Amino acid sequence: MSLDFSIETPFVTLVTPTYNQGRTIRQTIESVLSQSYPHFEYWVIDGASTDDTLQILSDYRSDPRLHVISEPDRGQSDALEKGLKRSHGLLWNWINSDDYLLPDALLSLHETYQRFPEARIFSGITEEFEEGQPEKLNPIRLQLRSDPSHSIAVGVFCQPSTFWKTETVRALGGIHPALHYVMDWHLWVRYLCEYGHEGIALIPQALARFRKHPQSKSISQGSGFHAEAATIYRALLERARAPETFYSELPSAFSKESIFPSALTFRCFSAKSFLKAYADKKIRIFHKRGDHRAALHWLWISLRKAGGLTLWRLKILIRSLWRKLFS
């Protein structure tokens, strides 16, 4: 295979981690191999599937762009690290075996790269859909707020449509091996802590579709996502020297030393801004749930420890008190 490393036509690496996803992986593979942009390689890292995944992969063995590794692994993050170590591309991303790229996704990436070659991240739109209802699409974009610490607190990352400079992923420490659910958001958190909102190029087109189905981890193992995200929030709160009241219901499975690489400088992480954003996030969650007692509790914390009274907090305070008194 002839690899094109030129700046004008950046070589792209795509990785698909998979295990027993024979039901959907063909659509994923076809969506990659049918891209109109030719300068890419594609790694499928299979965890020794026992279904028909390997048979499906064998149907594409003549395509020189596709490379397959099939062996036992320690989960999705381990598979992604295997793919990252073998990547030749200037740009890098992964597409899970129940999701797929849209036509001309890599061409849109290429066109954006031409305009912003100095960027480190190139992020388009992901169209989320329920299995069986492909016509009902929910567009998801990269969430950027007023400053990096507020963007961290949102807790959302648009992974399928966000491509990275490969060197940036490696400089941030790669994919954390102990994380099995929020490894993508964790990478985004590290980026925001180190680079802030610098070097982000937004792509106005949809690049991928994310399938929601009963067997997907985001639905069948939702508690795992919450637990891992909570450990990352705890590490950030520890770094921000948050008061003890901020740690309610947060596990302590990881320390800030183990969840973040020692080389990370946190030069774009503001403790004050993060505490304010985190308190507002908790207020918003409980207010939306109708748990006005908890919302008022976090309002009190925010007034004392995280930035004082704002117009938004005042509105929530009035609404919560009203509903608490008259519900």
Write out pLDDT tens, residues 93-113.
999 999 999 999 999 999 999
Round to whole Å and give the CA distance between 136 and 77.
Answer: 30
Sign for the CA dihedral angle at 38, 9, 42, 67 comes to positive
**pLDDT at res. 181:** 94
**Residue 1 pLDDT:** 43
C-alpha 160/C-alpha 16 separation (Å) is: 11
For residues 86 and 160, what is the distance between their CA atoms, to the nearest angstrom?
20
**Residue 280, φ and ψ in degrees, nearest 5:** -65, -35
- Which segments in the chain show pLDDT lower than 50? 1
Strand partners, 122: 163, 201
Q: What angle do CA 253, 255, 259 make, to 5 degrees?
A: 95
What's the gap between Cα 158 and its chain centre?
Answer: 5
Mean pLDDT of the chain: 91
